[in-house]
Structure 1
């Protein structure tokens, strides 16, 4: 058993996120079980870049309201207590709405090259605005 008493929070890298996003690692035992998890906090309007995960991703929303969008234009509104599963290889983005904070626990199973994530270009303002309209916000 190992009690981890303090995990520092870091600002998310600007080359993968738009807006203010903060990451607190929960576990990153990629060398042991290939599992990586983090608490991710998005300020209003903040979001990830487009990205995918070789083995998929699970998002569990702990607070607030957010959006998840896919390349085919599908948009899902997510809120506290909900879990969303992103299938392997699906290009998607996620973040807060323009008027609310959103926090989620993100869980990925890595591959032989790390966490299995492929980071792509930023979500444009037009794509983000369209996602809000699609979600009825």
Structure 2
């Protein structure tokens, strides 16, 4: 039964890829709702979370859509089981500790290895969204200090 999580994620990715065509109009509905504004100290700026699938008794994986306002970002953090990010909107950044910041665009996928300290968020002039997929079987994310403005702007 553990494979149900992988099936759910595979179906989510298939649905997402089928819907990832250029928008003809900004009036078109988004694939997913923004969700609820995140009210914790693990983010700089405003971000929203829409949990697409939560861990349960059948599997420990989860997937959530995170939408960032321009310049919003996560704190430095790591995931014991790693993390996959699938960019669904806008332009954003991803950076692992000790490495240069990467620019991310719609359709890109990032595989964060287990226990690698990193951050991600929106570019200064773009709203940004991604689906974050991870597994809580090895524990929850570990959160660290905020990304400074100097780190963000490098």
Q: TM-score, normalised by structure 1?
A: 0.83
Question: Which residue of the partner structure matches residue 36 of structure 1?
Answer: 62
Q: Kindly tell me: are residues 112 and 68 of structure 1, through their superposed partners in 2, closer, same or farther at Cα, counting changes over 3 Å?
A: closer
Question: Which residue of the partner structure matches residue 93 of structure 1?
Answer: 119
Question: Which residue of the partner structure matches residue 129 of structure 1?
Answer: 153
Stretches of 4+ moved more than 2 A in 1? none
Larger radius of gyration: 2
**Which is strand-richer, 1 or 2?**
1
Question: Which residue of the partner structure matches residue 106 of structure 2?
Answer: 80
CA-CA distance at 1:21 after TM superposition? 0.2
CA-CA distance at 1:30 after TM superposition? 4.4
CA contact (8 A) 1:30 1:110 kept: no
Equivalenced residues, count: 123
CA-CA distance at 1:125 after TM superposition? 0.6
**Which is helix-richer, 1 or 2?**
2
Structure 1 segments unaligned to the other structure (5+ residues): 1-6, 131-137
Q: TM-score, normalised by structure 2?
A: 0.75
Partner Cα separation in structure 2 for residue 31 and residue 67 of structure 1: 34
- Report whether the alignment pairs 1:56 with 2:82: yes
Structure 2 segments unaligned to the other structure (5+ residues): 1-32
1:119 paired residue among 128, 143, 147? 143
Quote the RMSD (CA, aligned, Å). 1.8
Q: Kindly tell me: are residues 30 and 87 of structure 1, through their superposed partners in 2, closer, same or farther at Cα, counting changes over 3 Å?
A: farther
Question: Which residue of the partner structure matches residue 53 of structure 2?
Answer: 27
